Amino acid sequence: MAENNAGDSGFEQIRPTAIELGPHRATGSPGPAEKRSNKGLFLGLGLALLFITAALVIFLLPDLVEPPDLDTGRAIAANASAPISPARSAQSARPAAESPWEQAQQSKLRKETQEILAQILEAQKALENNGVTVWAAADYARAIEHAKAGDRLYNQRDFAAARTAYQAAMQVLEALMEQVDEVFQTALEEGQQALEAGDTPAALASFQVALAIDAIDREANIGHQRAQSLDQVNALIDRGDELLGAGQLQQAKASYNEALEIDARSSRAAGQVQLVDKKILAREFNHKMSLGFAALEEKRYREARSAFSAALRLRPGSPAARSAINQTEHSISTLNIKALLADAKTLEAQERWREALSKYEAALTRNANLAAAQQGQERTTIRSAIHDRLERILASPQRLYDEAVHAETLSLHKKLRALANPGPILRRQLDKLEQQLAKAKTPVTVRLQSDNLTKVILYRVGELGYFLDKQIDIPPGPYVAVGQRAGYKDIRVEFMAEPDKPAITLTVQAQEKIALK
């Protein structure tokens, strides 16, 4: 029985050896003390054998007994129910024949295989969370096939081949892990391109890939929403294009704006809105320009300027609008100049020189090189000065009593009389001046009375002497008569001798005595 147990366990049975613990006794029936000693010896050997067996179970049995398979995840879990092959069943039934070194190598391979398997499970979980079956189903399936092959080899205790199969699965999974960010970014870009191209299926497919990788990404969600409404947006844009082609600009713009209300990011709709706005602007601009030129043709210059200015506001800096405004301003200026020159001529004919001068000056502000205005300005400046000078002379005829003033004025009068077509006003001025010049030389009779005791002196004339009554003719002007008498204060009498005035009678006699001290 002991031999059978040794063969079954694979370990050699330990046989107990008799040990003498006391004095040697002859062979025969043992005594009571000898029976107690043998009983203790067998008890010690039994305990030792029990401890050795326990140690063998603890340290050697794990390497001889196959551990249960690890759960490889949802993709690999199906292998757990695979039927056990006859080879595996036979191997399990056979007692382990490996040496301790081989057993240690197998244990090491099994541990390494389990570590790779744990990495596979972690990568599998991460990839499934990133929707790998959506964007790399074939590669992922290939990795799972490698993992299943590894499972089969592992269950057959071919740990080296299982490790190789698991490593092949891990290489595929690692490659897929490295592609996640790139696939996500590519899906976003291709989705945006599909949106721009109006390709609804392609846009939906791309954004579904992006959402499978990151379900909460803002751009991916927005892109997916836009893709879902892309057909409706495209229909509105196509309708707008039809209206645009028919020249119904406002209706086309409304259709494009409706598309933008659904998808505010639609560059196609936004571009069409800009296009139709340009066409609306161009149509309104051309309309204003046409109104302006029509008004300009009919010399309705204010209306033309208003229309061209409105066109310029629509297109600031437009050379056409600016040129039309300049043309209108030139026409207005020309018209104004003609009106100013005509008014100036009329005023000249009326000898309203100062007013005519202002008209010529206004014309020159519009065109400084206008010869007619320059000549008119020069002519009216002179005539206005002559008119004003004559008016001042006529307003103060007494100044003509002065010989120098009279001579200068007389010379002026002669020059003005020589003018051709002097005009009625100037002729009247000259006639009146001629009369005043004549009167300034017309003698005035003055009657002087005295007491025959006072000597009378008339300045500008001379000494008149003593007399009681004297009458003399003197030129018009201011005079001073002085009376002198011994013992009396001088008397001084000032008077103005003017023609066309009543005769002047003056009394000149000294009557106030000088007081004696």
- 470-506 pLDDT, tens digit per residue, is 999 999 999 999 999 999 999 999 999 998 888 899 9
pLDDT in tens, 16-66: 333 333 333 433 444 333 333 343 334 344 444 544 443 443 334 444 444
pLDDT at residue 517, rounded to an integer: 59
Mean pLDDT score across all residues of the chain: 82
Percentage of the residues of the chain whose pLDDT score is greater than 90 = 60
Name the amino acid, one letter, at 257.
N
pLDDT in tens, 433-454: 999 999 899 999 999 999 999 9
Residues 6+ apart with CB under 8 A from 143: 169, 170, 172, 173, 176
Q: How far is CA 255 from the centre of its chain?
A: 27
Residue whose token pair is 């066309």 = 500
pLDDT(92) > 50 = no
Q: Which of the 8 DSSP states describes residue 66? A: P
Question: Do 6 and 12 meet the contact criterion of CB atoms below 8 Å apart?
Answer: yes
Question: What is the rounded distance in angstroms from the CA atom of residue 56 to the CA atom of residue 62?
Answer: 10
pLDDT at residue 324, rounded to an integer: 94
Question: What is the rounded distance in angstroms from the CA atom of residue 146 to the CA atom of residue 76?
Answer: 10
At 496, is the secondary structure helix, strand, or coil? strand
Residues 6+ apart with CB under 8 A from 33: 22
pLDDT(515) > 90 = no
Residues 6+ apart with CB under 8 A from 345: 356, 376
Residue whose token pair is 């100013």 = 340
Do β-strands 455-458 and 504-507 pair in parallel, antiparallel, or remain unpaired?
unpaired
Going by pLDDT thresholds of 50, 70 and 90, the confidence category of residue 98 is low
134 or 81, which is more confident: 134
pLDDT in tens, 136-190: 899 999 999 999 999 999 899 888 898 999 999 999 999 999 999 999 999 999 9
The sign of the CA dihedral 180, 182, 187, 192 is positive
Going by pLDDT thresholds of 50, 70 and 90, the confidence category of residue 97 is low
Name the amino acid, one letter, at 427.
R
φ and ψ at residue 269, rounded to 5 degrees: -65, -45
Range of lowest pLDDT (80-94, 130-144, 197-211):
80-94
> What tokens were used for 345?
């001529």
Taking the model in full, what pTM does it have? 0.48
Range of lowest pLDDT (236-240, 329-333, 370-374):
329-333
Question: What is the rounded distance in angstroms from the CA atom of residue 389 to the CA atom of residue 387?
Answer: 6
Do β-strands 504-507 and 444-449 pair in parallel, antiparallel, or remain unpaired?
parallel
pLDDT(459) > 60 = yes
pLDDT at residue 305, rounded to an integer: 92
pLDDT(210) > 90 = yes
> What tokens were used for 41?
């010896």
Q: How far is CA 458 from the centre of its chain?
A: 96
Q: What is the arithmetic mean of pLDDT over 377-385?
A: 93
Range of lowest pLDDT (39-48, 131-140, 297-306, 383-392):
39-48
pLDDT at residue 294, rounded to an integer: 95
Nearest to 244 by CA among 256, 232, 260: 256
> What tokens were used for 149?
């092959």
Q: What is the arithmetic mean of pLDDT over 343-351?
A: 92
Question: What is the rounded distance in angstroms from the CA atom of residue 455 to the CA atom of residue 447?
Answer: 16
276 or 7, which is more confident: 276
Nearest to 444 by CA among 396, 398, 393, 509: 398
> What tokens were used for 151?
């499972």
Percentage of the residues of the chain whose pLDDT score is greater than 70 = 81
pLDDT(290) > 60 = yes
Question: Do 171 and 105 meet the contact criterion of CB atoms below 8 Å apart?
Answer: no
Following DSSP, what letter does each residue of 276-288 receive, concatenated?
HHHHHHHHHHHHH
Question: What is the rounded distance in angstroms from the CA atom of residue 49 to the CA atom of residue 16?
Answer: 9
pLDDT at residue 69, rounded to an integer: 43
Helix axes 319-349, 267-297, angle to 10 degrees: 20
Q: Which of the 8 DSSP states describes residue 83? A: P
